[in-house]
Amino acid sequence: MGAWGFLLRMVMGKITSVKCPNCRKETPWEGNPNRPFCSERCRLIDLGAWANEEYRIAGEKKPAEEDEESDD
């Protein structure tokens, strides 16, 4: 399930409302500029959490040192 089940339902035209991935509040799909989130706040919180996670994962790896072709 997850995003793909969600997309599938959307493509099949059966989505009229979604649950906000952040706060789980039922929120309308049509005419919702922040979909699938209920509000801009939830959208930004989720994006922030995702960016944080990416940053954390990236931070655990040591940067590749073989990538030093130019030196601006």
Contacting residues toward Zn ion, per CB under 5 A: 20, 22-23, 25, 38, 42
Q: Using CA of residue 40, residue 32, residue 21, residue 11, what is the dihedral sign? A: negative
Residue placing its CB nearer to Zn ion in the complex, 9 or 35: 35
Residue placing its CB nearer to Zn ion in the complex, 31 or 63: 31
CB of 62 to Zn ion, least distance (A): 37
Q: Using CA of residue 17, residue 24, residue 9, residue 3, what is the dihedral sign? A: positive
Residue placing its CB nearer to Zn ion in the complex, 16 or 70: 16
DSSP code of residue 39: S
